[in-house]
Amino acid sequence: MLFFALLFLAASVHADKIRDLAQVAGVRSNQLIGYGLVVGLDGSGDQTTQAPFTTQSLENMLQQFGITVPANVRPQLKNAAAVTVTAQLPPFAKPGQAIDVTVASIGNAKSIRGGELLMTPLRGADGNVYAMAQGSVVVGGISAQGKSGSSVQVNISASGRVPNGATVERSVASSFGQGGDLVLNLNTPDFTTAARIAEAVNRAYGAGTAQPVDGGSVAVRGPADPAQRVSWLGMIQALEVQPGDAPARVVVNSRTGTVVIGSEVKVSAAAVAHGSIQVTISEQPQVSQPAPFSRGGQTVVVPSSSVQVSEDGAHMFKFGPGASLDSIVRAVNQVGASPTDLISILQALKQAGALHAELVVI
């Protein structure tokens, strides 16, 4: 019986690998951006009268090929669009490797579907070119418009991606190959998780191998040889650690009405009454005419307004001391409160001091 009890306890403990809880300091991606042209569009490109930079960019490109556009000629293009090109340069990316790029119109192009991105240099924050992008744009949206003005659109057709559309030309120097301790930065800072990561490493590879620096970082002693550091870090990232309990937090998105309540949220004893007030205003203009055979009378329109106020759903429910997430959800569902009502209830509980959690409004 004791053996089966230990097996059940071990299965009920949730553990994650260190690679899912922390990242290695200095190992990060870098943002790249560039400006380019997408050509070959089916009349859905920029209107050059409203986006003159598209024509200017095309003229500058033609000059590089020895073609000069007369100064008094303004090409009216409909099959070209000015775009921004962005990409993420992964860590340890080497010259010759391919990465995906995202293309988005910055003019008034209706769609870049079927277009071809011309060669575009991608620069980093330091101004250096790290990749060159070119290729066919893949668009997931579609739009169509008739002569009468009616239109239909599915998703966004003014932006797309070029899979493997950029080639890395320069690598970014990393401090990983240098000597010294390796630092693991936690994705979610937590003192308990940092202490448990250090304990797991020390238990597996000896005391003093790892020590927590603060609630968000753990320093790990590593070998000086870069090859040994790679295998050493791989073994450390494979260790399993039980993370600390998530903080009691309620996240509210007032724009979409989304409410996320953590499992550790508790509510003190409180009684809540919540109802909705509806105001209805209706206008029924009436026509007033003068009496028959009267002189000087005029027919006028007299406004007639009707205002009604009604209050619906005035329910009251009570939370016991230390009410859990299940009690909160059950009570709110019983009264049929909408997400908007739930946001108001949570804000009122926080102001009353009955909500023992951090209320985050995004």
* 298: pLDDT strictly greater than 80: no
Confidence of residue 15 (pLDDT cuts 50, 70, 90): confident
The pLDDT value given to residue 12: 45
The pLDDT value given to residue 2: 40
19 lies in a domain?
no
The pLDDT value given to residue 211: 92
3-state secondary structure of 21: helix
CA distance 57 to 62: 9
* 29: pLDDT strictly greater than 70: yes
7 lies in a domain?
no
Tell me which residue of 205, 235, 199 sits closest to 218, measured CA to CA: 199
Domain ends where: 114, 144, 168? 168
25 lies in a domain?
no
CA distance 288 to 235: 90
Confidence of residue 318 (pLDDT cuts 50, 70, 90): low
Query: Looking at the structure, do residues 126 and 58 belong to the same domain, yes or no?
Result: yes
Q: Which two tokens stand for residue 114?
A: 């079927």
Query: Looking at the structure, do residues 68 and 111 belong to the same domain, yes or no?
Result: yes
More confident residue, 335 or 361: 361
Domain ends where: 241, 257, 274? 241
* 117: pLDDT strictly greater than 80: yes
Which sign, positive or negative, has the C-alpha torsion 254, 260, 262, 266?
A: positive
Query: Looking at the structure, do residues 129 and 228 belong to the same domain, yes or no?
Result: no
* 187: pLDDT strictly greater than 80: yes
Q: What is the mean pLDDT of residues 138-163?
A: 74
Give the number of domains in the chain. 3
The pLDDT value given to residue 5: 41
Environment class of residue 117 by beta-carbon count within 10 Å: exposed (0-12), middle (13-18) or buried (19+)?
A: buried
Residue length, the chain?
Answer: 362
CA distance 109 to 141: 14
The pLDDT value given to residue 111: 86
Give the domain CATH number at 209: 3.30.1360
SS (HEC) of 106-160: CCCCCCCCCCEEEEEEEECCCCCEEEEEEEECECCCEEEECCCCCEEEECCCCEE
153 lies in a domain?
yes
* 61: pLDDT strictly greater than 50: yes
Encoded amino acid at 28, one letter: R
Confidence of residue 218 (pLDDT cuts 50, 70, 90): very high
For the chain, give percent helix, strand, coil, nearest 5: 20, 40, 40
* 103: pLDDT strictly greater than 80: yes
Query: Looking at the structure, do residues 37 and 145 belong to the same domain, yes or no?
Result: yes
pLDDT tens digits for 254-292?
777 778 887 778 777 777 766 654 445 565 677 777 777
More confident residue, 147 or 115: 115
More confident residue, 289 or 62: 62
Block residue for tokens 């990393």: 174
Query: Looking at the structure, do residues 254 and 348 belong to the same domain, yes or no?
Result: yes
More confident residue, 319 or 113: 113
Query: Looking at the structure, do residues 122 and 191 belong to the same domain, yes or no?
Result: no
The pLDDT value given to residue 31: 94
Paired strand residues for 306: 282
Q: Which two tokens stand for residue 10?
A: 């071990």
Query: Looking at the structure, do residues 100 and 208 belong to the same domain, yes or no?
Result: no
Confidence of residue 8 (pLDDT cuts 50, 70, 90): very low
Query: Looking at the structure, do residues 273 and 320 belong to the same domain, yes or no?
Result: yes
* 52: pLDDT strictly greater than 90: no
Block residue for tokens 């953590």: 262
Block residue for tokens 């097996």: 7
277 lies in a domain?
yes
Query: Looking at the structure, do residues 260 and 332 belong to the same domain, yes or no?
Result: yes
Q: What is the mean pLDDT of residues 334-362?
A: 77
22 lies in a domain?
no
Domain ends where: 168, 190, 218? 168
Residue 68 belongs to domain spanning: 30-168
* 67: pLDDT strictly greater than 70: yes
18 lies in a domain?
no
Query: Looking at the structure, do residues 318 and 344 belong to the same domain, yes or no?
Result: yes
Query: Looking at the structure, do residues 337 and 278 belong to the same domain, yes or no?
Result: yes
Contact 100, 166 (CB under 8 A): yes
From 5-19, 27-41, 157-171, the region with the lowest mean pLDDT: 5-19
The pLDDT value given to residue 227: 78
* 150: pLDDT strictly greater than 70: no
13 lies in a domain?
no
Confidence of residue 337 (pLDDT cuts 50, 70, 90): low
CA distance 109 to 103: 13
The pLDDT value given to residue 164: 93
Query: Looking at the structure, do residues 154 and 42 belong to the same domain, yes or no?
Result: yes
Q: What is the mean pLDDT of residues 40-46?
A: 85
DSSP 8-state class, residue 6: H
Whether pTM exceeds 0.75: no
More confident residue, 126 or 46: 126
